[in-house]
Amino acid sequence: MHDNHARTARIAGLGTFLPEKVLTNKDFEAMIETTDEWIVTRTGMRERHVVSSGESVATVAVEAGKRALADAGVDPEEVELLIVATATPEQPIPATAALIQPLLGVRRAVCFDLSAACSGFLYGLKVARQFFITGEVSTAMVIGAETLSRYTDYTDRATCVLFGDGAGAAVLKAAPAGEGILRVAWHTDGTCADFIQMPGGGSKYPPNVKEHIDQRLPFIKMRGNETFKVAVRSLTDVCFEVLEQAGVSIDEVALFVPHQANQRILSAVGDRLGLPAEKIYVNLEKVGNTSAASIPLALRDALDEGRLQRGDLMLSAAFGGGLTWAAALVRW
């Protein structure tokens, strides 16, 4: 069962970038009251990459973007639309996507940022795909890029062990309906906006006021335990929703490539979906939670490991601040 349209988009190329600097669980043992054992058993994480001075969300996004263009064999001048999904933009004005446009050489592209936290990459695929459906665009790029370390409170042990930096970029080309991105289901619930948030740094508590910094407002805050429960339920529901929309069963899915928030979340969702562990792709032990960059980073690794073959059905899902959540079904 397909939508009643003639074309969609396919992922024609994927590129990723991780900054060189690594923070290990051992490093956290020296910084806060925690243990490698607690972090591994409660999250599954062992390492995360973080930017150094001189790096920023634009530098990681550009590197991932260049690699995606090379992987797709696409000339930057062909790109008509560039969406950068990020919760940690380069600066408030202009958009990160506009700032990196000349660095990627995508001079014909309309460029804007998309704010949907960890669901940003899948929201980006959904938005871009609509322009393929209407026929307005034939080549697009969606980049998920984050420098969460710049807003991580390294005195808050409940959040600081989770987050990492990085970027992943996808080049999208037109494909006949029934191939490529088959469906994307998406949701928002703003009543739980305080589950994951950075209260400072915007219009309410601007970053140019010293008290806001003293009150540690421009830092990421999370109600971890409550978020965990909603994440498991929402991710499960949205996966079943996208499968139903596309008229396929979970047994037909070759690989599930979820947002990498916590190993225990992924296992709980896998159980509820009836997916065996070998069909769930996990790389969070190496990268932590990289928000909008998480899914393209995982997808690139899965491809490099030969976990997805042409024609395979790939399911992806994400959950994050907003709250936002989404799932995509892709015929590889």
Check residue 56 for interaction with ligand UT7 (CB under 6 A): no
What residue number has its CB nearest to ligand UT7? 224
Binding residue count for ligand UT7, defined by CB under 6 A: 21
The correct pick among 16, 25, 43, 152 for binding ligand UT7 (CB under 6 A) is: 43
CB of 70 to ligand UT7, least distance (A): 29
Considering only 12-20, 31-39, 94-102, 177-185, which stretch makes contact with ligand UT7 by CB under 6 A? 31-39
Considering only 39-47, 167-175, 270-278, 279-287, which stretch makes contact with ligand UT7 by CB under 6 A? 39-47
Nearer residue to ligand UT7 within complex by CB, 7 or 48: 48
Which of 118, 239, 262, 283 is an active site residue? Answer: 118
Confirm whether 262 is a catalytic residue.
no
Check residue 320 for interaction with ligand UT7 (CB under 6 A): yes
Check residue 38 for interaction with ligand UT7 (CB under 6 A): yes
Q: What does the H/E/C string look like for the chain?
A: CCCCCCEEEEEEEEEEECCCCEEEHHHHHHHCCCCHHHHHHHHCCCEEECCCCCCCHHHHHHHHHHHHHHHHCCCHHHCCEEEEECCCCCCCCCCHHHHHHHHHCCCCCEEEEECCHHHHHHHHHHHHHHHHHCCCCCEEEEEEEEEHHHHCCCCCHHHHCCECEEEEEEEEEEEEECEEEEEEEEEECHHHHHHEECCCCCCCCCCCCHHHHHCCCCCCEECHHHHHHHHHHHHHHHHHHHHHHHCCCHHHCCEECCCCCCHHHHHHHHHHHCCCHHHECCCHHHHCECHHHHHHHHHHHHHHCCCCCCCCEEEEEEEECCCEEEEEEEEC
Check residue 231 for interaction with ligand UT7 (CB under 6 A): yes
Confirm whether 259 is a catalytic residue.
yes
| Residue 70 near residue 40 (C-beta atoms within 8 A) | no
Buried b / exposed e over 79-108, threshold 16 CB at 10 Å, is: bbbbbbbbbbbbeeeebbbbbbbeebebee
Check residue 76 for interaction with ligand UT7 (CB under 6 A): no
CB of 76 to ligand UT7, least distance (A): 31
Per-residue mark of binding to ligand UT7, 244-273 (x: CB under 6 A): -----------------xx--x--------
Considering only 6-14, 35-43, 87-95, 273-281, which stretch makes contact with ligand UT7 by CB under 6 A? 35-43
Tell which positions 93-152 bind ligand UT7, by CB under 6 A.
118
Check residue 157 for interaction with ligand UT7 (CB under 6 A): yes
The correct pick among 34, 115, 138, 267 for binding ligand UT7 (CB under 6 A) is: 34
| Residue 113 near residue 89 (C-beta atoms within 8 A) | yes
Check residue 86 for interaction with ligand UT7 (CB under 6 A): no
The correct pick among 289, 290, 316, 324 for binding ligand UT7 (CB under 6 A) is: 289
The correct pick among 158, 192, 213, 250 for binding ligand UT7 (CB under 6 A) is: 158
Does the N-terminal peptide bond of residue 276 adopt cis geometry, omega within 30 degrees of 0?
no
Which residues are identified as catalytic? 118, 259, 289
Contacts with ligand UT7, residue ranges (CB under 6 A): 34, 38-39, 42-43, 118, 157-158, 161, 196, 224-225, 227-228, 231, 261-262, 265, 289, 319-320
